[in-house]
Amino acid sequence: MAKSKQTKVLVVGGGAAGLLAAIVAVRNGAEVTILERNQRVGKKILATGNGRCNLTNVDMDISHFHGTNPKFALTALTAFDNYQSIDFFEKLGITHKIEDRGKVFPYSNQASSVLDVLRHELEELGVTTLVEAEVKELQKTKKGFQIAVKGGQTFFADAVILATGGKAAPNLGSTGSGYQLAERLGHRLVEPFPSLVQLKLASPYLKQIKGIKFDGEAEVIVENKSRARATGEILFTEYGISGPPIFDLSRFAGLGLQQNRKVWLKVRIITHLSSVELAAYLQKRFEDNPHKTLAFSFVGFINKQLVPVLLKEVACDANKKAAAVTALERQRIVEILQNWRFEVSGTNTWTAAQVTAGGIDVKDINPSTMESKLVPGLFFAGEIMDIDGDCGGYNLQWAWSSGYLAGFYAASFEK
């Protein structure tokens, strides 16, 4: 039996998840309005992938997702998967390409092109988009939902999709405002913290080694237990450490810190040799040039700016001759090159974070529809929920997948 009237769907938040949800909802027969608190929709899309928009990833294993229940994301990631996302954007005009680690980008290398085609599709479908419309009140009534916007305007809807994002990158409009709206309707918040972010380290040597880059391995250790490791280009900074591996590990460090646990970062500068091989290599290097100072013996092997700091850490005299280095000193040098430990004192702020860990607890959300189990007609999409992904297109795929389900089921919602 056909529905007697068109379902009115209101999408709160015009980011990636909200825009996808709006398109899917109107394609499925709904009348859709987007309320966006910024001056334009999609500001955060423009910043993704260093301005190139890392649309998705060809490797969509659930191990790339995190939260108190990461398997919650499986249904959505299957219902609208990475290849469906690629096809969706191809049909809108985005030719794609696949780069290292399976990352998918628009062939134009422009995030703006992704936002352009989304906005064009919204206009073609007749979606009403209101900007500078900050939602202050969301109430459930007998007739549906009543939404009050800052400035006095009121809207009514049969179904609402909360796609307000998290707290990462507040300069792009993510303030966590949606959390309060959901909490007032009975939903619980898993305390958010910054993720995909740089780490602060407790070390007296940071000013001396800032700016040094190397390809190595990093590992997060929480209360003497290894939590995760990652490899790639690592960068020392004045406040601590950065680089893609650090971003991938930051969630585990941030969670440990939030739980008031001791968190360490182990850095491995030399990864291509085992400890035994490295010890033998150093012995040969010192024997080949016995009259060089210990410090100068490393020139051409590791960044010379690192050498004095490393030797201070292992209490070796930088000026002693290579021939005089003892087996014990050589072993301490091997240890620092492959097991240099720093205490993690914090993460950088929300402004530096790419994504939010934590959010609205998914235990009260139906994974098959993204509908609230507490409030019929209320749906969730994207970063507002306690699901976050690794660096590499995973968070945008979560936005597309959850947005798809929320839009599809909101459009068919009947009171």
Q: Report the percentage of the chain scoring pLDDT > 90.
A: 95
List, for residues 120-166, the tens digit of each pLDDT value: 999 999 999 999 999 999 999 999 999 999 988 999 999 999 999 99
Instruction: Indicate the burial class of 356 (C-beta count within 10 angstroms; 0-12, 13-18, 19 or more).
Output: buried
Same domain assignment for residues 335 and 256: yes
What does the alpha-carbon distance between residue 22 and residue 130 come to, in Å, rounded to a whole number?
13
Residues 176 and 213 placed together within one structural domain of the fold: no
- Tell me if 365 is assigned to some domain: yes
Is the pLDDT at 2 greater than 60? The verdict is no
Domain count, the chain: 2
Band of pLDDT at residue 1, cut at 50, 70 and 90? very low
H-only helix segments in 205-266: 206-209, 244-258
Q: Is residue 1 part of a domain?
A: no
**H or E stretch at 175:** none
Backbone dihedral region for residue 58 (phi beyond 0: left; psi -120 to 50: alpha; all else: beta):
alpha
Residues of the domain holding 323:
198-347
Mean pLDDT of the region 296-309: 95
pTM assigned to the model: 0.93
**Same domain assignment for residues 33 and 175:** yes
Q: Are 199 and 347 spatial neighbours (Cβ–Cβ below 8 Å)?
A: yes
Task: Tell me whether residue 308 is in a domain.
Answer: yes
Mean pLDDT for all residues in the chain = 95
Same domain flag for 236 and 283: yes
Q: Which is more confident, 48 or 369? A: 369
Whole-number pLDDT of residue 153: 92
Of the pLDDT bands very low, low, confident and very high (cuts 50, 70, 90), residue 20 is: very high
Q: Do 107 and 94 share a structural domain?
A: yes
Any domain includes 26: yes
Does residue 2 fall inside a structural domain? Answer: no
Q: Residues 113-122: what's their mean pLDDT?
A: 97
pLDDT band at 415 (very low <50, low <70, confident <90, very high): low
- 3, part of any domain: no
- Answer with the one of 320, 347, 374 that is the final residue of a domain: 347
- Is there a single domain that holds both residue 28 and residue 153? yes
Q: Are residues 125 and 243 in the same domain?
A: no
Which H, E and C letters describe 22-57, residue by residue? HHHHHHCCCEEEEECCCCCCCHHHHHHHHHCCCCEE
Q: What count of other Cβ atoms lies within 10 Å of the Cβ of residue 86? A: 18
Report whether pLDDT(71) > 60: yes
Same domain? 220 vs 189: no
Q: What is the CATH number of the domain that holds 18?
A: 3.50.50.60
Residue 46 has pLDDT above 50, yes or no: yes
Residues 36 and 174 in one domain: yes
260's enclosing H/E stretch is none
Q: Does position 4 have pLDDT exceeding 80, yes or no? A: no
